[in-house]
Amino acid sequence: MSHFDRPVSEITESIRNGSVTCKEIVSESLERISATQQKFGAYITLLENQAAERAEQLDKLDTDAKKELPLLGVPVAVKDNICTRGVATTCGSRMLESFVPPYNATVIDALDAAGAVIVGKTNLDEFAMGSSTETSYAGITRNPHDPERIPGGSSGGSAAAVASGTVPLSIGSDTGGSIRQPCSHCGVAGLKPTYGRVSRYGLVAFASSLDQIGPIAMNVEDLGTLLEVLSLPDPRDSTNGRKAFVNSPDIYSGDLHGLTLGIPREYFGEGLSPEVRSGIEQAIEDCKQRGASFIDVSIPNLQFAIATYYIICTAEASSNLARYDGVKYGFRAKDQRSLVDMYEASREQGFGAEVKRRIMLGTYVLSAGYYDAYYLKAARVRTLIGQDFDRVFEKCQALVAPVTPTPAFKLGEKSEDPIEMYLTDIYTVSANLAGIPAISVPCANPNGLPVGVQFMAPKWKEDTLLRLGHAVQKS
């Protein structure tokens, strides 16, 4: 049996009691990556030497020091839009193919302090813009459950790394569902924390008011373990809420008595596939068996969520990506006659089609003639969506919903239709717009392809989500 078939707490306990070493655990991870990388393409950069050296250092620690490390020797994969000192951070783009950050993201320092071993940087849609991990300059990632299908995106590499058994934990980023959607497609658990729970310092920005780093794991308990490590207060991030998450064994009792969950009717209308609907209904039944009660609720402005999201995220992307001009760092086009030519050629050659599309959309909605009609109106609707959630949470402690309309679709199936691709985020973007936490947990699907159930809760109530997710997974 693999060491990675067990919860992280059992892996670390095995290391502490001497039944296995950090070096052996990390070696197993690197061997599995070597055996699966060509088939699934989950990673962009592998850190074999650094990981082996780190494991040896951890093995040399004394017993007392090892007790203080909650992720002692645990291999972790990191999405390649999170800065790692001395290690390339490409964002899946030609623009940053040779960028090596001189500093760590806060979450990387947190992983190091907890005793984790980073074994590689994972693939993603270019600059985290996509829902299928097909837009990466490094190539596509495939779903470990069916290599002819997408793993989801943009954190497809991080989800596939866990689903293929190469690591027990990974971290991704979620701007409009980019953790939850690939976790649903790959059959693993993933959490988008409350906006501000985890520091964004060192996360390469896509849409700054929406982006949030979060954990991915095979089981829900490990999500809580990793979230506690990642959620340290950080004065370097002005949007950080300074609210550390405290994990507790009480969360994972499996008892849901006293919890009232809302079923928002807007999430269960036309377009939801029978396979996904069946899985969600089974998850609802599992929660009922464990003591939860359910009520019907409504989020009236949810119908505007996709339009609102794609106005706001493209506007912020056009602003954030203006820094990539070929001057300070990143790709620079050669043999240009003027500064303006160099700007234009660097961005033309450095960015892929999807990134260019979003920059152009964002520039349009921010332009003088259309700012009021599009961006300002979207900002107001975003406020209304947040108020809808606030009202609903006065009646219940959490919401249950699908993560995606369908199971994973085939590679290339939606590549030529960006609107259809954008609509795959229809059930996830609202949580980012409202800044609330949301989780994806695998649920039953008789047809074989993974399906996830989504739970959403009020801000800072990740414990409620973990409680629900663990109960479903236990069932």
Active site residues per annotation: 79, 154, 178
Report the C-alpha gap between 469 and 475 in whole angstroms: 10
Report the C-alpha gap between 27 and 212 in whole angstroms: 31
Report the C-alpha gap between 151 and 411 in whole angstroms: 9
> At residue 191, what are phi and psi to the nearest 5 degrees?
-125, 130
**Per-residue DSSP letters for 215-244?**
EEESSHHHHHHHHHHH----TT-TT-----
CA-based Rg of the chain, rounded to a whole angstrom? 21
HSE, side-chain direction, 13 A CA sphere, residue 256: 28
Report the C-alpha gap between 458 and 460 in whole angstroms: 6
- Order of strands, sheet of 212-217, starting from the edge strand that comes earlier in the sequence: 43-46, 117-122, 75-79, 169-174, 212-217, 189-192, 438-443, 451-456, 398-402, 260-264, 293-297
**H/E stretch holding 463:** helix 462-474
Report the C-alpha gap between 194 and 210 in whole angstroms: 10
The SS3 assignment for 424 reads helix
Sign of the torsion angle spanned by Cα atoms 403, 406, 411, 417 = negative
